[in-house]
Amino acid sequence: MTEQIKINPAEFKDMKTELLRFLMSYKFALDQMKTKIDILKSEFKHIHDYNPIEHVTSRVKSPESIMRKAHKKGCPFKIDDIRENIRDIAGLRITCSFETDIYVLHEMLKKHHDIEIVEEKDYIKQPKGNGYRSLHLIISVPVFMSDREEKVLVEVQIRTIAMDFWATLEHKIYYKYDKDIPEHIILELTEAATAAHQLDQKMETLHTEINVIKANNQEEDELEVLQIDDERFHLPMSFFNRLSSVNWL
């Protein structure tokens, strides 16, 4: 006969409350990070001519997913141990336009004094064997609860559109496939990752060239603007050329 385990209702309620606080802390940490990114996006939109942030997605692992990862890592099923050993419970993915944008955003995050970057893995400069590229950061975010302050870890992945395209489809191809991947598929996926990287490089080169042309045109446009009080007059360069030929003496 199987022995039934009796759980004290009061103890069960305390465990449930603690688990709820545990998961909420990761949600709150993500909310703070998303707010920071939204502020940066708004600043780029209104102050600068260019916004490097294309998309932002986030997720908190489900309890089932957390338990599976804890079991896989041999981590004790205790909240403190899980918090210490599983660092991707909260995940934030930021998709940028170009590769250089990733490092610009990285530097901006480093300047936030209320967060701490505790780990960095640069899979762009050193891609994984299958061609995967992305910048991974583990960030410690302070979360203020009603009775405590907690340092919560958030995994931040920053990648380009091409990197995200490849990684998303690669995940779909491998999803729930628990057998050895045929060698030719691994090779073709690696070649596809190389092609995506070459596309990133080509588009960034074009972007840089266009910025140079745009800057030169802006300088010319500024010379053609005459402002009197609150009124702006746009004058063609031919007007200035004709003025310069007139003898005013």
Q: Which residues are catalytic?
A: 155
Provide the β-strand partners of residue 90: 60, 154
Closest of 150, 126, 161, 175 to residue 18, by C-alpha: 150
User: What is the Cα–Cα distance from 171 to 181, expressed in whole angstroms?
Assistant: 13
Q: E strands within the chain? A: 53-60, 90-96, 116-122, 135-144, 149-160, 225-228, 231-234
User: What is the Cα–Cα distance from 40 to 31, expressed in whole angstroms?
Assistant: 14
* CB count in 10 Å sphere of residue 189: 19
Strands 90-96 and 149-160: parallel
3-class DSSP assignment, residue 109: helix
Residue 108 vs residues 23, 60, 103, 139: alpha-carbon distances, Å: 27, 24, 9, 13
* CB count in 10 Å sphere of residue 160: 26
Q: Would you say 155 and 174 are in contact if contact means Cβ atoms under 8 Å apart? A: no
* CB count in 10 Å sphere of residue 140: 17
